[in-house]
Structure 1
Amino acid sequence: MTVASTSDTFASSSTGARPAYLDFNATAPVDPRVANEVMRYMLQEFGNAGSRTHTYGQVAKERVNRARQEVAALVAAKPDEVIFTSGATESDNLAILGLARHGEASGRRHIISTQIEHKAVLEPLEVLGGRGFDITLLPPDEGGRVPAESVRAALRPDTLLVSVMAINNETGVIQPIEEIASVLTEHDAFLHVDGAQAFGKLVQPLQHPRIDLLAISGHKLGAPKGIGALVARRRGYKRPPLTPLMYGGGQERGLRPGTLPVPLIAGLGTASALALDEADERTAAAVAIKAKLIEALRPLGAVLNGDPDRTVATTLNVSIPGVDSEAAIVALKDVVAVSNGSACTSQSYEPSHVLTAAGLPRELVEGALRFSWGPDTTDVPTDLIAERLLQLVRR
């Protein structure tokens, strides 16, 4: 079965089609090549990877093994260090809550993280705080970055875990993961990285061998929703001492029981391989889109939220003075699909905790718009976006 191209999805509404899609940080469309692979393992090779007595099961198992290799290759890990999960939220929970028993047994109850993490990290940390763990949340600087020196200053002998996201989901600011990893060279603390927005976009930083636990999500990368992984790297011969959150079946080295979703795993594997193969051309295309969008918004007095020299090429968080983000989204709804923050918290209508932590004035926080795009994005109606926003400025 061949899946049609998704190019029509991103056409401008000026042609009578759907609005251009610029909310990739919320979710990316499934790459047609990935979709074809998923459909093959749904309709043809539908065996259970745990079935050892026939060829259907063997084919499924072999595809799962190849997917481990494809995911591992993107982050320079070993295939048996890849644990398949339902996505980055589950992976974050497994990494953080899964270390709790070890922390309690070893007397190491201190955890360092940041104020700008995703709720998939902050809420498990709150749970551990209620269990007697001491949680230190570091603030970002004005550019939205948490300096490695702040991590160094917060380290204690009883620090169990340092958890820092690779790319912020709202601002696109790249955190200094490699520098933080170097800070931890002489410390036993585990380093957990939420790589949901970075996997497939940043290659080298996520390959640092000092990253013990790396959470990834397929649907940010062109794979289906419902699949992700936790990369749990060994130190020498020792695996991170994780305790499972669920029990029953023993799959994924006993850390994530349940029948493996082979079609979704195949999709994640294919998406990972494509991201590695096409990394340079994807980055170049994303840089061009970002430059064009910034140039179109510049005459409106646009304020870029997040250090522009330290943001990923696929994200732009911007505020237009005097323009409320909700009004802007309504004005743009037939032109482009954008957001004003994390899709996971968008229904709360609360000011962004990320931008607030960076010390931005309230009017900029309330006016912030997040544009995000990916390899399928081609025709961005920048002039029409600027025209609609200019109408709001003049009111």
Structure 2
Amino acid sequence: MDRVYYDHAASSPMNPEAAKAMLEVMTGTYGNPSSTHSFGRAVRQLLNRSRDTIAHGIGCTAGELVFTGGGTESDNAALIGAARAARKQGKSHIITSATEHHAVLQSCEALEREGFRVTIVPVDEHGIVNPADVERAIESDTALISIMYVNNETGTIQPIEEIGELARSKSVLLHVDAVQALGVLAIDVRQLPVDLMSFSSHKINGPQGVGALYIRKGTAVEPIQYGGSQERKRRAGTENVAGIVGFAKAFELSVNSLAERKPFLEQLRYTWIERMREIVGAEGIVVNGHPSNYAPHILNMSFIGVGTESMLMNLDLAGIAASGGSACTAGALEPSYVLQAMNFSQERQASAVRFSFGLGNTMEELELAAKKVATFMARVRTNA
């Protein structure tokens, strides 16, 4: 059976060139990058080269980039590290939004248990944070604002520049989870009013278990991991050099191909919407998210009248991988907290599916996938 992968926002297939670069490291070098002998220096050179590649690509210095174990660790390190450092200056208030990734929301919950206060600002029906709400939430002891760049469930792009300028005017740090933005949006931290930014490798066709955190020079962040002086004493532990090399290669390929990939991803997204409307009927399909401010690789749509669980099961049986954008709790597929925060009807929440596109997807494959959906949707309607 031909299989179709439309879940790139969850994890993306590794670029063969990234895998090749990693294999060369794993079979050719084995020194510790902290060692001073020639074996260690050879590995350190690979690490430095990878850091330079990513730093140059996002517009920061090598000293402002910390390698981590992934996007979740980057979010944790940014929020917890910056909050604890700010508390020493008498600041103990944090602002975030209702649709952030759990890596941010649960970090905030952990900080609340340490005595910090957290304000969660709402989003509108398109999933957008209103900067005026953020401004109203800022208090004299606000230390940090954390707003994601691109929502992982809907693809909605947040007004990061406006929120960042607001934060700067109030002397408040801004952290941005850019995990879903990297590789699909041009990022230049020299132009963005951002102090901390999180990235992940496996969303851009690199290996899993590797990420990075941008820390603007002069930003106080306490380490949350101890046991060594690696990463300028900001993240203890021997670096995953092979993974970092793979991340850098995937990053390089992703950034260099952005001009060609972005329009193609947009075409895939637009065509899938049109095909689904033809198959289901325009009244049966609702696109969830902002109508114009969205990342081209993520599409969240509700199949009105067909439950998410049923839709995902039929998609999987047809060989199509997609996501409900939901958490499986105690065996029950629960509605997405992101869609709940957007105040959708229960029917719309309960029929939402996320499709996300990327490396390896083609228009020919999309047409084949659409035919499969047409086949099982006819069956679903017959049995309804």
Q: TM-score range by the shorter chain?
A: over 0.9
Query: What residue number does 1:31 align with?
Result: 15
Query: What residue number does 1:259 align with?
Result: 238
1:366 to 350, 356, 371: 350
Query: What residue number does 1:123 align with?
Result: 106
CA displacement at 1:323 relative to structure 2: 0.4
Verify: 1:191 aligned to 2:194, yes or no. Answer: no
Verify: 1:392 aligned to 2:365, yes or no. Answer: no
Query: What residue number does 1:231 align with?
Result: 214
Query: Alpha carbons of 1:389 and 1:69: their partners in 2 closer, same or farther (altered >3 Å)?
Result: farther
Letter in 1 for 2:320: V
Query: Alpha carbons of 1:386 and 1:141: their partners in 2 closer, same or farther (altered >3 Å)?
Result: farther
Query: What residue number does 1:82 align with?
Result: 65
- Rounded to whole Å, the distance in 2 between the matches of 1:76 and 1:149 is 29
- Rounded to whole Å, the distance in 2 between the matches of 1:229 and 1:354 is 25
Maintained 8 Å contact 1:296/1:386 = no
Query: What residue number does 1:298 align with?
Result: 277
Over residues 335-373 of structure 1, what are the superposed CA-to-partner deviations in whole Å (9 max), with x where a residue is unaligned? 310110157989662211100000000111111000001
Query: What residue number does 1:10 align with?
Result: none
Over residues 37-60 of structure 1, what are the superposed CA-to-partner deviations in whole Å (9 max), with x where a residue is unaligned? 010000112322112211x32221
Query: Alpha carbons of 1:69 and 1:347: their partners in 2 closer, same or farther (altered >3 Å)?
Result: farther
1:107 to 70, 90, 109: 90
Query: Alpha carbons of 1:70 and 1:348: their partners in 2 closer, same or farther (altered >3 Å)?
Result: farther
Over residues 77-104 of structure 1, what are the superposed CA-to-partner deviations in whole Å (9 max), with x where a residue is unaligned? 1111110000010111111111232232
Query: What residue number does 2:159 align with?
Result: 176
Maintained 8 Å contact 1:320/1:367 = yes
Query: Alpha carbons of 1:201 and 1:136: their partners in 2 closer, same or farther (altered >3 Å)?
Result: same
- Rounded to whole Å, the distance in 1 between the matches of 2:381 and 2:33 is 57
- Rounded to whole Å, the distance in 2 between the matches of 1:231 and 1:344 is 32
**What secondary structure sits across from 2:169 in the alignment?**
coil
Letter in 2 for 1:93: N
- Rounded to whole Å, the distance in 2 between the matches of 1:269 and 1:303 is 37
Query: What residue number does 1:215 align with?
Result: 198
Bigger shift: residues 28-37 or 368-377? 368-377
Q: How does 1:129-140 map to 2 (within 5 A)?
A: 129-140=112-123
Bigger shift: residues 295-304 or 80-89? 295-304
**Runs of 5+ unmatched residues, structure 1:** 1-15
- Rounded to whole Å, the distance in 2 between the matches of 1:342 and 1:74 is 33
Maintained 8 Å contact 1:319/1:369 = yes
CA displacement at 1:207 relative to structure 2: 5.3
Maintained 8 Å contact 2:230/2:236 = yes
Query: Alpha carbons of 1:195 and 1:369: their partners in 2 closer, same or farther (altered >3 Å)?
Result: same
Over residues 184-232 of structure 1, what are the superposed CA-to-partner deviations in whole Å (9 max), with x where a residue is unaligned? 2312111001111111111147553421111111111111111001110
Over residues 246-280 of structure 1, what are the superposed CA-to-partner deviations in whole Å (9 max), with x where a residue is unaligned? 21111011111111111001011111111111111
Over residues 143-195 of structure 1, what are the superposed CA-to-partner deviations in whole Å (9 max), with x where a residue is unaligned? 11112222122222211000001111111111111121122231211100111
- Rounded to whole Å, the distance in 2 between the matches of 1:88 and 1:357 is 23
Bigger shift: residues 271-280 or 346-355? 346-355
Maintained 8 Å contact 1:335/1:385 = no
- Rounded to whole Å, the distance in 1 between the matches of 2:327 and 2:19 is 23
1:93 to 76, 87, 96: 76
- Rounded to whole Å, the distance in 1 between the matches of 2:345 and 2:250 is 39
Maintained 8 Å contact 2:93/2:118 = yes
Query: Alpha carbons of 1:71 and 1:202: their partners in 2 closer, same or farther (altered >3 Å)?
Result: same
- Rounded to whole Å, the distance in 2 between the matches of 1:202 and 1:51 is 37
**What secondary structure sits across from 2:377 in the alignment?**
helix
- Rounded to whole Å, the distance in 1 between the matches of 2:37 and 2:88 is 41
Q: How does 1:326-341 map to 2 (within 5 A)?
A: 326-333=309-316, 334-341=318-325
CA displacement at 1:375 relative to structure 2: 2.8
Question: How many matched pairs?
Answer: 374
Maintained 8 Å contact 1:74/1:200 = no
Maintained 8 Å contact 1:296/1:383 = no
- Rounded to whole Å, the distance in 2 between the matches of 1:219 and 1:319 is 27
Query: What residue number does 1:246 align with?
Result: 225
- Rounded to whole Å, the distance in 1 between the matches of 2:150 and 2:247 is 20
**What secondary structure sits across from 1:289 in the alignment?**
helix
- Rounded to whole Å, the distance in 1 between the matches of 2:266 and 2:69 is 30
Query: Alpha carbons of 1:73 and 1:319: their partners in 2 closer, same or farther (altered >3 Å)?
Result: same
2:143 to 151, 160, 163: 160
**What secondary structure sits across from 1:377 in the alignment?**
coil
Maintained 8 Å contact 1:328/1:392 = no
- Rounded to whole Å, the distance in 1 between the matches of 2:33 and 2:326 is 35
- Rounded to whole Å, the distance in 2 between the matches of 1:298 and 1:206 is 39
Bigger shift: residues 326-335 or 364-373? 326-335
CA-based RMSD of the aligned residues comes to 1.8
Query: What residue number does 1:357 align with?
Result: 341
1:270 to 243, 246, 249: 249
- Rounded to whole Å, the distance in 1 between the matches of 2:162 and 2:91 is 23
- Rounded to whole Å, the distance in 1 between the matches of 2:63 and 2:230 is 12
Query: Alpha carbons of 1:356 and 1:136: their partners in 2 closer, same or farther (altered >3 Å)?
Result: same
Maintained 8 Å contact 1:109/1:134 = yes
